[in-house]
Amino acid sequence: YLLCASGDFVKVYSVSTEETLSLMGGHADLVTGIQLNPHNHMQLYSSSLDGTIKLWDFMDGIPIKTFSVGSKLLALYTLTSAEDSVFVVIPKKGERDTFQLVSVKLTKGAGQDLESKEVSVVLDGVGASMKHIAFGREGAYVVSVKDVNLQVYFFKRKLLNRFSLSKIKTKGGDNHFSCVVCHPTEDCIATGHADGKIRLWRNFHHKKEYTYSTLHWHHDIVMDLAFSVEGTRLLSGGVESVLVQWHNESSCQKDFLPRLGAPIEYISMSSDGALCCTLHTDNRITIINSNLRFSRSIQGLIKSRDVKTGLVVDPRTKALVLNGEPGHLQFYSLQSDQQLFSLDIVQRQYIHEAGLKQSDLVKVAFSARGTWLATVEESEEVADPELQLKLWFYHEEAQSFVLNTRINTPHDNHITDMCFRDMDELGDDSLILVTAGRDCVFKVWVMVEDSDPEAQQSVSWSCDFVGSYHNYQATNCCFSEDGSLLAVSFEETVTVWDSLTWDLKCTFCHPPGNIRKICFGRLTCSKYLIGATDYGFLCCWNLLTCALEWSAHLNVVVLQPDPLSEHIAAVSWLSKESSLFVFKPNEPRPIYIQKNLCKEKILLATFVPRDEPETISSEKYLWLRKSQLFFLTDTQELMTLSTKALEERLTPSSKQLAVEESLPVTPFSLLLGKHRRQQAQEDTDLGKPVVLTKQEQASPAVKELLHTPAHVLPSASFLCTIFINSLLISKENKSAEEVADEVEMESEKAEDDSDEEDVTAMEQEDTSHMELLGEMTCKLSKSQEKELRRIRKMDYSWISAF
Amino acid sequence: IGCEDGSVKIFQVVPGGIQFERNLDRRKGRVLCLSWHPSGTHIVAGSIDFFRVIDVTSGQTVQRIMVNHQAEKAKRECVVWAIALLSSGTVVSADSFGRVQFWHWEQGTLAESHTISTSAALSLAVSEKEDSIVVGTSTGATYQLQLLPVRLGGLEKRWVRTKPFQFHSHDVRAVAHSPTALISGGLDAQLVIRPLMEKVQKKGYDAVLRKFTFPHRRLVSCARKARLLLFQFSQYLELWRLGSTEETGKDGEVLPLCQMPEHLVQLKSKGPEHIYCSCVSPCGTWVGYSTASRFQLYRVRCDGDGVSLRKVPKVPKLLPPAYQLQFSADSESLFAASARGSVHVFQLLEPGGCKHLHTLQPPSGCSEAVYLLAPSADGHWLAAVSGDWAIHIYNLKCFKHHCVVPTYDCAVSALAIHPSTNNLVIAYSDQQLVEFSIPEKQYTSWSRAVQSRGLHRTWLERDSPITHITFNPKNPAHILLHDTYLLCILDKSLPLPDDSALLMNQSALKQLPETARKRQLHAFKICKKFQPLLFMDLLDENCLVVVERPIMDFKTQLPLPVQQKKFGT
């Protein structure tokens, strides 16, 4: 098993199948550290910022005990020698940004919730990160690093030694410590440094005659280190996305596992030494064999440095498409929380180095049926971007996109927007691509038959029309639903063009302020054009009368029409909270308002069509019938609005919550905890919450079958029934077990939920901005449970299919 | 002595020489390195691909260990460049694969192997306690290996490579391990002393990294009257006539020469021996040099353009030859420093002859050789420093021992006798300066003042010792000193600087007004313009000759260093 802390949860993954086996929730805040109980390897301690330590049975996902310590816990350590106490890092009272390592005596008691206030300070002035403290061989000493200082405390002798490196950056090096680990059997400490050096300290019980040797391969900060179980190998990883294995502490013998995709954040070894796993900054766990071969990876939504492409839905797979690895486009399945595939757009080797100008993907557009994909990539240079427009055709046989046309420098400056003319019924011939650029023009691209008989492909794309308006920068472009009109915004003005003749039909303007977003209404509201300006106005123009229909004062950051209905979602950003408004263009009154959607700024939103329309009883969620709304915040969390809250699955006593954060999709974006940092005062780094255990599961009958020599086995027809029977029995057992679990979990949930405020009670027809909602704690639990349920369902189906 | 043919010969050291005793077991393969067991019972000899342990008493090879069984696939020969036999019976070998290996020779097993470098490990040295080893490699890096306990308080110990140092650009051919420092010498003509900070108790001379490029000896001699310079190279001597100018100019100006410097003659020594010392007489007509076995004297004649060099016949044979040669100021006699504290005095005869006049010896006897000589300008006195750092002063008029300068616990790096006052100025290697009056047989009052006051801290913390002292005949208060990095005029009439003052204040003084400048003046006037400085002498009242040897001059003559990939290039 692979255990990992993810947000407020602890996830249990199967090492062999990469599946999420269980999800343990119960902490009210970020889980900062998890450690296996050294006396019982089926139990797990977890610590959280909410000041509690929980003991879990992770096989069943049941909390056994809860110890409340009182202050924020930033890291957790356990020791075999320490019988009934654990070590945690807590902030020092009265001083900001000072932390101390304390040992907490876990009180023994009968109840589930226990108080453990018996705290004794071990070390003062430690680093807040989990990586800054390590316990030595058999718990004989503890090492802590901070800045350029290293301190070692020997428990038996009560001796504290401090060593410090020179602060001066010699030869461009930076001596700051980044992580520390201890050799499992010898008195040796390995420390990683900001300049990429690894120092191996020995003889550190002498104040003066201590000594260290240096290993240097990394060119940038060493993010994490791990010793193998027997201590002969040392693994190190950093921003280069290369895992380095050092043998026998020698600088000459080393092995590499390169191209891991993203900078390595944590490294963890399994207790039997057979596997190690690395955790990457882009939200992925890689499991690696002991012979340094890539084994498998667990990944959800890849966290990219910057989602420039926006959230786009692939019409073919209904997958969410956005920036993935640098230069790649990821297709992310919302249903299965999995990456479907990653398309290499830039097709260039990505080199990790600060200050290097990289090319990255900035715009993506799909044609209506998903047969064409247009991408724009540009280099990071501000003054003279190197632009490339690429058009990809979906190849049915290859089941992948194939590059059709590459256009170098389609515009002289950054491309601000791009859209296809969406016309389902007319087929590919009418396909038109419009790009708007900061070079004050928009360009229309059409497909042309290739006259060259030698050419491998029959069509290619070329520019058909270049339009401009008073030499203003074109900022947005958008086609009306029937494809007859093209709206292009030029700074303060929206221009509407006839897509057949490319004549300027009319212009709209709502000064002051540039147009931020525009979109056409759909279905019954297709005569309306909606625009949002910088100065906080949302305007709706009637295209028939060429007049302003209505306008509202709202600082809109996201404007997203639903492709299947006439609803338009607008997300505003006001005084550090995002609010959602859903309206129809034909009436100025919103049909749905959700204030205080989340604390983070929502950058992007999209409607994802549902496979089948959902039956929604509640009036106010009718707009969610055909599609689901997803948001991406600036911390790259993906959220959704759920109507499922109305399902009465839980015990009646539990209160319902209208808005739920959907599964935070990526265990690691949460694990990295960046979104929490804004809230939490302390700059807390999350722990290294990865522990591996391995368990073999096999039905005894199957085992017997496999282990008996073939020549003594009875005939296959005889065995078949036994084999099938054994499987059937196991299924029954399993389901029974799981049902029990479920019940237990549900009761748990009920308890947790009962102390929450009733948020759904609010009435939402009032448009006043002043309505204050109760503080909404992030509730991931229910959706998580849904997820869990779904996995179980899948499990069943698999078994029955068998 | 290990030989190319694979034999190891044992010699006995007897007074006055060495004596062949016997041959040990001879095996095929060159012997490249040898090491004695501390108890003297065994010798370990390193060859190509193997090393062997020889019992000294029986002369038999008792163990032969192949070192390259692991790397046999490579089909390269593994040269054991350096070897050491520890008292515990562990053999440490450094080989051309860059490995340092620890063997139990009795079992013939490999205990530990450390690949410390991708290129060859060339030299190793063990500390006296046998808990630390220094290894030199052909990339110019030296590494320290330490014997450290695996666990705190545990008995098990293991060798761990700890500190790497990169001070050399070329092969590190020799290393030594002192109790407080690692010393390494390489092909790049540098000697580096790297202190082990954890072993140094207090801050002092030992606690600083020292780098030496030039020997602390005088390699240039000057004939003041004839304006000639004699340069001593390892195999030959070069005699140059200095150019001259008649113009004068301001500070910092380069004056045009009316007479170009002229290379007069190159004198090659015979045989493979290096020249140990050399000297040109002040009149420029005599040149003498000495190698490890021979002493030669030449007569130089300049007739117009032509220069002729004639070997002086029947030079008295010196055994052992001279460690230092010095002509008297009137060029009529030659002093040769010799073993056992003796100084031979020769009389130079026209037109080209030489006669042994006298041998000066300290009355109490001395076992060490004399390595520095300083005759007085009036030909009355001669100061001689022997290896035990005792300075004896002889009266040349009656060839009698005059007195001994009180012994100071430090090596003398330079000394000279003042031409007018006959005060002996002595510079010690710990940067102390002393003035001793020969007629009065005691320290001068200025010297006592210096001792009580103490010299400036910056002066005492300098790297290289004073290698030459000379005087300004115009101003008797001036003493001219130089080491490798600076030249200094010491003005005895000015006050000594205290630690708060700036020692190097020449440029600061220039900017001050006249009155303030007077207050700031102190005895040390230092010029660092010429570096590295090999020699400096005052030719006459207004002419100073300075010899500079740019390091790049001989860096370019070195072979290419081992190519190493450097990150980011």
Let me know whether B110 and B78 are in one domain: yes
Q: Does A170 touch chain B (CB under 8 A)?
A: no
- Chain B residues touching A154 at Cβ < 8 A: 152
CA distance A248 to chain B (A): 9
Let me know whether B39 and B187 are in one domain: yes
pLDDT the model gives residue A652: 29
Q: Does B117 touch chain A (CB under 8 A)?
A: yes
With cut-offs at 50, 70 and 90, classify the pLDDT of residue B291: confident
Contact of B467 with B216, CB cutoff 8 Å: yes
A211, B198: Cβ pair inside 8 Å? Answer: yes
Residue A783 has pLDDT above 60, yes or no: no
pLDDT the model gives residue B72: 54
pLDDT the model gives residue B199: 73
What Cα–Cα distance (Å) separates residue A91 from each residue in A117, A652, A686, B15?
A: 15, 40, 14, 76
Name which of B253, B256, B225 is nearest B243 in CA terms.
B256
With cut-offs at 50, 70 and 90, classify the pLDDT of residue B425: very high
Mean pLDDT of B426-431: 88
With cut-offs at 50, 70 and 90, classify the pLDDT of residue B86: very high
* Counted domains in chain B: 3
- Chain A residues touching B116 at Cβ < 8 A: 250, 252
pLDDT the model gives residue B136: 92
- Chain A residues touching B146 at Cβ < 8 A: 202-203, 211
* B250 in a structural domain: no
pLDDT the model gives residue B135: 93
**Residue A191 φ then ψ, to 5°:** -125, 145
B206 or B444, which is more confident: B444
Contacts of A719 (CB under 8 A, 6+ apart): A705, A713
Q: For the residues of A441-488, what is the DSSP string, one character each?
A: EEEEEEEEE---TT-SSSEEEEEEEEEESTTPPEEEEEE-TTSSEEEE
What pLDDT, in 10s, does the model give residues B538-550?
887 778 888 888 8
Q: Which residue in chain B is spatially nearest to A211 when comparing CA positions? A: B162
What pLDDT, in 10s, does the model give residues A383-428?
677 888 888 888 888 888 888 888 888 888 888 888 888 666 555 5
**Could you say which of B357, B392, B416 is where a domain stops?**
B357
Q: Which one of B146, B151, B163 has the shortest CB-CB distance to A186?
A: B151
* B230 in a structural domain: yes
Q: Which residue in chain A is spatially nearest to B567 when comparing CA positions? A: A219
Mean pLDDT of A150-162: 87
Q: Which one of B160, B198, B568 has the shortest CB-CB distance to A213?
A: B160
Let me know whether B26 and B76 are in one domain: yes
Residue A143 has pLDDT above 80, yes or no: yes
With cut-offs at 50, 70 and 90, classify the pLDDT of residue A766: very low
Contacts of B453 (CB under 8 A, 6+ apart): B496
Let me know whether B340 and B279 are in one domain: yes
- Chain A residues touching B155 at Cβ < 8 A: none
3-state secondary structure (DSSP) of residue B206 = helix
pLDDT the model gives residue A354: 61
Let me know whether B152 and B294 are in one domain: no
Among A162-171, A585-594, A776-785, B165-174, the range with the most confident prediction by mean pLDDT is B165-174
Mean pLDDT of A344-361: 72
Let me know whether B62 and B179 are in one domain: yes
Residue A320 has pLDDT above 60, yes or no: yes
CA distance B154 to chain A (A): 10
Name which of B29, B78, B71, B77 is nearest B52 in CA terms.
B29
Mean pLDDT of A217-237: 89
User: Out of A317-331, A710-724, B250-264, which region has the weakest mean confidence (pLDDT)?
Assistant: A710-724
pLDDT the model gives residue A618: 67
Q: Which one of A187, A250, A253 has the shortest CB-CB distance to B151?
A: A187
- Chain A residues touching B567 at Cβ < 8 A: 219
For the whole model, what pTM was predicted?
A: 0.71
B148, A252: Cβ pair inside 8 Å? Answer: no
Let me know whether B173 and B298 are in one domain: no
Q: Does domain A1-127 have CATH number 1.20.1250.20?
A: no
Q: Identify whether B532 is preceded by a cis peptide bond (ω within 30 of 0).
A: yes
Among A569-583, B122-136, B265-279, the range with the most confident prediction by mean pLDDT is B122-136
Mean pLDDT of A348-376: 78
Let me know whether B446 and B327 are in one domain: no
- Chain A residues touching B565 at Cβ < 8 A: none
Let me know whether B165 and B225 are in one domain: no
pLDDT the model gives residue B309: 83
A137, B115: Cβ pair inside 8 Å? Answer: no
Q: Which one of B152, B161, B568 has the shortest CB-CB distance to A213?
A: B161
What pLDDT, in 10s, does the model give residues B217-252?
788 888 888 888 999 988 899 988 888 777 777 777
What's the complex ipTM?
A: 0.72
3-state secondary structure (DSSP) of residue A292 = coil
A208, B198: Cβ pair inside 8 Å? Answer: yes
Quote the mean pLDDT of chain B.
85
Name which of A348, A345, A477, A362 is nearest A406 in CA terms.
A345
- Chain B residues touching A240 at Cβ < 8 A: none
What pLDDT, in 10s, does the model give residues A452-492?
666 566 778 888 888 888 888 888 888 888 888 889 988 88
What pLDDT, in 10s, does the model give residues A540-594?
888 888 888 888 888 888 888 888 888 888 888 777 777 888 888 888 788 888 7
Q: Among 3.90.1520.10, 3.30.1320.10, 3.40.190.10, 2.130.10.10, what is the CATH number of A129-299?
A: 2.130.10.10
The Cβ-side half-sphere exposure at B330, using a 13 Å CA radius, reads 8
- Chain A residues touching B160 at Cβ < 8 A: 200, 202, 211, 213, 249
B559 or B305, which is more confident: B559
Rounded CA-CA distance A570/A767 in Å is: 14
pLDDT the model gives residue B522: 83
Mean pLDDT of B467-484: 88
Residue A759 has pLDDT above 60, yes or no: no
* B398 in a structural domain: no
Contact of B473 with B541, CB cutoff 8 Å: yes
What Cα–Cα distance (Å) separates residue B487 from each residue in A161, A662, B190?
A: 47, 79, 22
Chain B contacts in chain A segment 196-235 (CB below 8 A): 200, 202-203, 205-206, 208-214, 219
Residue B438 has pLDDT above 80, yes or no: yes
Q: Does B98 touch chain A (CB under 8 A)?
A: yes
B146, A211: Cβ pair inside 8 Å? Answer: yes
* B496 in a structural domain: yes
- Chain B residues touching A213 at Cβ < 8 A: 160-164
What Cα–Cα distance (Å) separates residue A686 from each residue in A29, A177, A193, A683?
A: 12, 17, 19, 10
**Structural domain of residue B305, as residue ranges?**
215-243+259-357
Q: Chain centroid to CA A386: how far?
A: 29
Rounded CA-CA distance A58/A5 in Å is: 12
A425 or B471, which is more confident: B471
A to B CB pairs, distance under 8 Å? 53
Q: Does A253 touch chain B (CB under 8 A)?
A: yes
Q: Does A140 touch chain B (CB under 8 A)?
A: yes
What Cα–Cα distance (Å) separates residue A753 from each residue in A618, A670, A757, B524?
A: 22, 22, 9, 85
Q: Which residue in chain B is spatially nearest to A203 when comparing CA positions? A: B148
What pLDDT, in 10s, does the model give residues B141-178?
899 998 888 877 777 888 888 878 888 888 898 999 98
B198, A209: Cβ pair inside 8 Å? Answer: yes
What Cα–Cα distance (Å) separates residue A653 from each residue in A656, A675, A753, B501?
A: 9, 32, 9, 86
B149, A140: Cβ pair inside 8 Å? Answer: no
Contacts of B23 (CB under 8 A, 6+ apart): B7, B8, B9, B10, B59
**Residue A437 φ then ψ, to 5°:** -125, 165
Name which of B435, B436, B389 is nearest B411 in CA terms.
B389
Q: Which helix (H) or strand (E) holds A784?
A: helix A781-801
Q: Identify whether B320 is preceded by a cis peptide bond (ω within 30 of 0).
A: yes
With cut-offs at 50, 70 and 90, classify the pLDDT of residue A332: confident
Let me know whether B177 and B282 are in one domain: no
Contacts of A710 (CB under 8 A, 6+ apart): none
Residue A760 has pLDDT above 50, yes or no: no
Among A274-283, A685-694, B421-430, B552-561, the range with the most confident prediction by mean pLDDT is B421-430
Let me know whether B43 and B191 are in one domain: yes
pLDDT the model gives residue A764: 32
With cut-offs at 50, 70 and 90, classify the pLDDT of residue A781: very low
CA distance B180 to chain A (A): 12
What pLDDT, in 10s, does the model give residues A659-681?
233 333 333 333 333 333 333 33
Mean pLDDT of B90-101: 90
Residue B82 has pLDDT above 90, yes or no: yes
Q: Does B195 touch chain A (CB under 8 A)?
A: no
With cut-offs at 50, 70 and 90, classify the pLDDT of residue A314: confident
Let me know whether B410 and B551 are in one domain: yes
What pLDDT, in 10s, does the model give residues B498-519?
777 777 777 777 777 878 777 7
A213, B162: Cβ pair inside 8 Å? Answer: yes
Mean pLDDT of B33-53: 91
Q: For the residues of A492-525, what is the DSSP string, one character each?
A: TEEEEEETTT--EEEEEE--SS-EEEEEE--GGG
Rounded CA-CA distance B546/B483 in Å is: 12
Q: Which helix (H) or strand (E) holds B44?
A: strand B42-46
User: Out of A167-171, A550-554, A589-593, B552-556, which region has the weakest mean confidence (pLDDT)?
Assistant: A167-171
- Chain A residues touching B151 at Cβ < 8 A: 137, 185-187
pLDDT the model gives residue A753: 35
The full set of domain ranges for chain A reads: 1-127, 129-299
Residue A645 has pLDDT above 50, yes or no: no
- Chain A residues touching B152 at Cβ < 8 A: 140-141, 154, 187, 205
* B416 in a structural domain: yes
Q: Which one of B152, B161, B198 has the shortest CB-CB distance to A205?
A: B152
Q: Does A777 touch chain B (CB under 8 A)?
A: no
Contact of B47 with B34, CB cutoff 8 Å: no
- Chain B residues touching A138 at Cβ < 8 A: none
Chain A contacts in chain B segment 123-162 (CB below 8 A): 146, 148-152, 160-162
B163, A213: Cβ pair inside 8 Å? Answer: yes
